[in-house]
Amino acid sequence: MAYQSHEFYLRRCIEISRQSRESGNTPFGALLVDESGEIVMEQGNIEITEKICTGHAETTLAARASHAFSKDYLWKCTLYTTAEPCAMCAGAIYWANIGRVVYGMTEKRLLELTGSDEQNPTFDLPCREVFARGQKPIQVIGPVPAVEEEAARVHQGYWNQ
């Protein structure tokens, strides 16, 4: 498969986030793309249905990927996600050795959507700041303006009910 645009992969993440919401979880989705452009793994949030407090899409995907692939392979991969990775997810991405992250909307925008909802006490901490404290030059691309509003729409009517 030839490498697609960031928008292509992020729109697939948005579909995964819809599926996550429909299955009873919070509306987030992520996927892993190898250096040739093939989607090798997809993941929605599982924290509610699986009762796992760390069940964010990115953390779960990073853990699964670290079991399935070598660190060298993962360094050449890109993790796409609907929303900027929180501090926990950024840490999981770092430790899994995934070399690039592309996200649709910022953590700050997510905080505007979730407000003070106790189900998602969103950080106001950009993933670039988390990665900057590490020893690996993880590349970060985002937000991607072409899909930012699409990513936010999946959250409408979900938070603070």
Nearest residue to 101 (alpha-carbon basis) of 92, 110, 112, 109: 92
Length of the chain, in residues: 161
129 among known catalytic residues: no
29 beta partners: 44
Query: How many C-alpha atoms does 15 have within 13 Å on its Cβ side?
Result: 8
Cα–Cα distances in angstroms (integers) from residue 138 to residues 62, 70, 90, 104, in the given order: 14, 17, 10, 17
Nearest residue to 143 (alpha-carbon basis) of 57, 85, 78: 85
Catalytic option among 42, 47, 58, 107: 58
What is the C-alpha separation between 120 and 21, in angstroms, rounded?
Answer: 14
Query: In the block, which residue shows the tokens 């970060």?
Result: 140
Active site residues: 58
